[in-house]
Structure 1
Amino acid sequence: MFGVVRRHELSDVEWEVLSRFLPRSGTGRPRANDRVVLNGIVWKLRTGSAWRDVPERYGSWQTLYMRFRRWALDGTFSRVPAQVQAEKDATGDIDWLVSVDSTIVRAHQHAAGGKWGQSIGDEAGDHALGRSRGGLSTKVHLACDGRGRPLGFVLTGGNTNDCTRFEHVMETIRVARIGPGRPRTRPDHVVADKGYSSRKIRTHLRRRGIRHTIPERADQVLNRLNRGSRGGRPVGFDRQAYRLRNVVERCFNRLKQWRGLATRYDKTRESYQATVTIASILLWI
């Protein structure tokens, strides 16, 4: 036991899971206690405070920041959800009715130093910041399972259209097997709103043999009716399945309880991606 768990700190159960995936310290000077450091990182991200304002009980803020950046860049944080998801899938704890959607996150002026653009990594220095009428923002495109837990996500500038990143989001769904076998990448069913209603997306899902429920936009319905018999048949629509789409909204609601996620303070893509990843990990745990 670690003693009294303060507000915004890791519980014993959360620490027990996370501690298995942290890199071991090598030779040389002993490093600061991992649980104390991780508690400081979580406290900072949950409250949205500046690194310099993290309470002294977590140690030097420089140590917290450097450990956070190191684990964000070396893939420590990104490896944890893959392992946790694999363990959950082995026990049948993943609901493969997947919901896809996106949410806008306003970028604080402290994040404005990062280069902004629409690309998702093709450009050197692109940090998923886009300018629109509301100012700089980031968009989190996310796929969650039927219980509202993130299976994968993609970051882009806030001025990016949802449907252009659908296939990228689907590519992030990759749940490894415990034992032999290829990772699972194909949901049983995909549910999305009208923002994803396009022929390209429907064709992509059909080719992969994935059932889907995506309503048509009003203009698409009108165009089809105006073309008469040449317009083709209406797309299939399962109302019961579509009612379950709200799980992705609830997922965003839970993620945005983290103030450091609900407003972006990080300049770099890697740091903000680590923030979303940490919040996602604790949803799974």
Structure 2
Amino acid sequence: MGRRTLVGPIRGRRWADHRRTLEAIAWKYRTCAPWRDLPDELGPFQTTHKRLIRWAADGTWERILTALLAVADAGDEVGWTVSVDSTVCRAHQHSAGAGKGGIRGRSEPDDHALGRSRGGLGTKVHLASDNRARPLAIHVTAGQAGDAPAFEAIMARIRIPRSGVGRPRTRPAVVLADRAYSSRAIRGHLRRRGIRAVIPQPADQVGHCLRRGRAGGRPPRFDVETYKERNAVERCIARLKQWRGLAMRTDKLAIAYQAALHLAAILMWTRR
């Protein structure tokens, strides 16, 4: 008798070439062309779109970015003076119309990270970058969302595994942010984690503390020279928005749009 095998018959066709699929996704978001305009040599647009969503839902894009960050950190190439900021990306009319209530079994927000701000319908991209203008963490919310409420969420996404034994690195040495992040909650969060905060105070907060006198407490320390490095996150945002499909969102699903942001970040780190 022959040996019994526990492997059943293989069903379906073989996977399309992953490299071609990645090139197709990159082409689509670099040009902001409709999916149906994908060139024939890059394969069927249905296959490319389905794989983008599948890898977004199972966390493949984030795992690839994390692996690249781990390699870079092992080579001491990650700058741990981290800058945090956000930018609003306008949403095309094609991005509207997704079903309400999110997507069953996937980490899709109920509002699909779409909301109306002064500029109209849009998505806000929250970003943490190192001091060499490369993204460490990305988080998307609706366009009208504030910066400060998303601060802890973006900081929680900074998680770089170590090459040897030890916990993943999650704590930057310094965090730079503009006045929109000046709050007691954020400063307290950074203080508890032992992270130095370089965040200027708005004029109204300064005046409020002065009116209270001694009860207002000491003003927080502010390092002007270190704050000059905050331009790194601005440059990182500018590099991401060179992709036309990221500067203007056309995706109905937030996980698809965030997956494209992760792909852009992956390519930035591979070219370091």
TM-score (norm 2): 0.90
Structure 1: which 5+ residue stretches go unaligned?
A: 1-25
Deviations 1:212-247 (A, max 9, x none): 100000000111111122212121000111000000
**Residue in structure 2 matched with residue 95 of structure 1 by the alignment:** 79
Structure 2: which 5+ residue stretches go unaligned?
A: 1-9
- Report the AA paired with residue 108 of structure 1: H
Task: Please give the alpha-carbon distance, in whole angstroms, between the structure 1 residues aligned to 2:220 and 2:59.
Answer: 41
**Residue in structure 2 matched with residue 253 of structure 1 by the alignment:** 238
Deviations 1:114-138 (A, max 9, x none): 3689xxx999633111112322110
Task: Please give the alpha-carbon distance, in whole angstroms, between the structure 1 residues aligned to 2:256 and 2:75.
Answer: 32
Q: 1:29 aligns with which of 13, 21, 25?
A: 13
2:226 counterpart of 1:241: yes
Task: Tell me, yes or no, if the aligned pair for 1:105 and 1:138 is still in contact at 8 Å.
Answer: yes
Task: Please give the alpha-carbon distance, in whole angstroms, between the structure 2 residues aligned to 1:30 and 1:231.
Answer: 67
Task: Tell me, yes or no, if the aligned pair for 1:115 and 1:129 is still in contact at 8 Å.
Answer: no
Task: Please give the alpha-carbon distance, in whole angstroms, between the structure 2 residues aligned to 1:115 and 1:139.
Answer: 20
Greater shift in the superposed pair: 259-268 or 221-230 = 221-230
Task: Tell me, yes or no, if the aligned pair for 1:104 and 1:140 is still in contact at 8 Å.
Answer: yes
2:105 counterpart of 1:125: no
**Residue in structure 2 matched with residue 14 of structure 1 by the alignment:** none
Task: Please give the alpha-carbon distance, in whole angstroms, between the structure 1 residues aligned to 2:125 and 2:112.
Answer: 13
Report how many residues are paired.
257
**Residue in structure 1 matched with residue 249 of structure 2 by the alignment:** 264
Task: Tell me, yes or no, if the aligned pair for 2:96 and 2:252 is still in contact at 8 Å.
Answer: yes
Task: Tell me, yes or no, if the aligned pair for 1:116 and 1:129 is still in contact at 8 Å.
Answer: no
Structure with larger Rg:
2
**Residue in structure 1 matched with residue 30 of structure 2 by the alignment:** 46
Task: Tell me, yes or no, if the aligned pair for 1:116 and 1:128 is still in contact at 8 Å.
Answer: no
Task: Tell me, yes or no, if the aligned pair for 2:208 and 2:216 is still in contact at 8 Å.
Answer: yes
Change (3 A) 1:268 1:90: same
Q: 1:113 aligns with which of 93, 97, 108?
A: 97
**Residue in structure 2 matched with residue 217 of structure 1 by the alignment:** 202
Task: Tell me, yes or no, if the aligned pair for 1:151 and 1:173 is still in contact at 8 Å.
Answer: yes
SS across alignment from 1:142: strand
Please provide the CA RMSD for this pair. Answer: 1.8
SS across alignment from 1:236: coil
Share of identical aligned residues, percent?
55
**Residue in structure 1 matched with residue 185 of structure 2 by the alignment:** 200
- Report the AA paired with residue 203 of structure 2: A
Task: Please give the alpha-carbon distance, in whole angstroms, between the structure 2 residues aligned to 1:124 and 1:281.
Answer: 23
Deviations 1:103-156 (A, max 9, x none): 000110000113689xxx999633111112322110011111111111112111
Structure having greater relative contact order (Cα 8 Å, sep ≥ 6) = 2
**Residue in structure 2 matched with residue 17 of structure 1 by the alignment:** none
Deviations 1:141-188 (A, max 9, x none): 111111111111211101111011111111000000112110000000
Q: 1:55 aligns with which of 20, 35, 39?
A: 39
Task: Tell me, yes or no, if the aligned pair for 2:111 and 2:142 is still in contact at 8 Å.
Answer: no
Offset of 1:93 from its aligned partner?
A: 0.5
